[in-house]
Amino acid sequence: MNLIFLGPPGAGKGTHAKMLCEKYGILQLAAGDILRRNIKEGTPLGISAKDVIARGELVSDDLVNDMMFEEILKLVNAKGFILDGYPRTINQAEALGKFLSKEKIELTAVVNFIASENVLVDRLAGRRLCAISGKIYHVRNMPPQKEGFCDCHHQPLIVRKDDEPETIRHRLKVYHESTKPLIEFYRTKGLLHDIPAEGEASLVQKDLDTLFEKISSIK
Ligand code: ADP
């Protein structure tokens, strides 16, 4: 089963992709995580992407396409994958479509996470990370045991650079301009499934489980 998770920043794509992958034994390919790994390792891709990401802009289509195609090809023996945060532009979606048909890989469905702007801003602005494990907290919805410190390594929690309020607004604008058109792109292909994503994580997860069962029974 090969899926795309589509939706604005803060909609919960990453959180739910991780839960589904653990449950169903498929693999998550999160474009943002792979880019941040490249930045950490100082690769040429990481060096070109670093400032672009900090400003809340999109990394160029060619760089991201090559990066993701390479990752998908590593998964030939996997049960399936979730592309999280990729594609984010029509150009990326078209390139991905050509790549998948060349490799004879079928796209099963596209899950569209829906949440209002207020909820998204609140989630992103309250997001905190452990600098060592990357574990995600939220100051109110998912607080650590000791305020400001992670439970796993007892280190001060950090704010992702692109979760600063100004950059959050810009990322949402970029989403509306560049990524939102993908909803119609995949709807016309008959692949799109909407998921309301404002509720608690456990409720969203329940809807996703139902959707997952439905999709796997069709395929
Ligand atoms: P979010 O979905 O919360 O914005 P991500 O971790 O998915 O966070 O992405 C962080 C940043 O990485 C994006 O703002 C963008 O700069 C870059 N990025 C991630 N995916 C893509 C993509 N498919 N195309 C271009 N840039 C991307």
Assign residue 154 a region: left if phi > 0, alpha if psi is -120 to 50, beta otherwise? left
pLDDT score of 141: 85
Q: How far is the CA of 57 from the centre of ligand 1 (A)?
A: 8
Task: Give the chain's mean pLDDT.
Answer: 93
Q: What is the average pLDDT across 109-137?
A: 91
The CA distance from 96 to 3, in Å, is 12
- 70 within 8 A of 37, measured Cβ to Cβ: no
Range of the domain at 36: 2-117+170-218
pLDDT score of 118: 92
Q: What is the average pLDDT across 2-24?
A: 92
- Residue 141 lies inside a defined structural domain of this protein: no
pLDDT score of 4: 98
Q: How far is the CA of 151 from the centre of ligand 1 (A)?
A: 26
Q: How far is the CA of 104 from the centre of ligand 1 (A)?
A: 26
The CA distance from 175 to 57, in Å, is 10
* pLDDT 10s digits, 149-202: 999 889 999 998 899 888 999 999 999 999 999 999 999 999 999 999 999 888
Tracing tokens 């984010």 back to the chain, one arrives at: 88
**Residue 6: CB within 6 Å of ligand 1?**
no
Element (H, E) at 146: none
pLDDT score of 163: 92
pLDDT score of 76: 79
**What residue's CA is closest to ligand 1, atom 10?**
32
User: Given pLDDT bands bounded at 50, 70 and 90, which one contains residue 54?
Assistant: very high
At residue 219, does pLDDT exceed 80? no
- Residue 157 lies inside a defined structural domain of this protein: no
pLDDT score of 92: 98
**Residue 58: CB within 6 Å of ligand 1?**
yes
- Residue 7 lies inside a defined structural domain of this protein: yes
CATH of the domain at 100: 3.40.50.300
**Residue 53: CB within 6 Å of ligand 1?**
yes
**What residue's CA is closest to ligand 1, atom 1?**
9
Which structure tokens are listed for 148? 């400001």
- Residue 138 lies inside a defined structural domain of this protein: no
Share of the chain above pLDDT 70, in %: 99
At residue 15, does pLDDT exceed 90? no
pLDDT score of 218: 65
Q: Which residues are catalytically annotated?
A: 13, 88, 127, 160, 171
Number of structural domains in the chain: 1
- Residue 209 lies inside a defined structural domain of this protein: yes
In ligand 1, the atom with minimum distance to the C-alpha of 60 is 25
Angle value at C-alpha 99, between 176 and 177, nearest 5 degrees? 10
In ligand 1, the atom with minimum distance to the C-alpha of 55 is 16
**What residue's CA is closest to ligand 1, atom 21?**
31
Instruction: List, in sequence order, the alpha helices (H) in 140-200.
Output: 165-174, 181-187
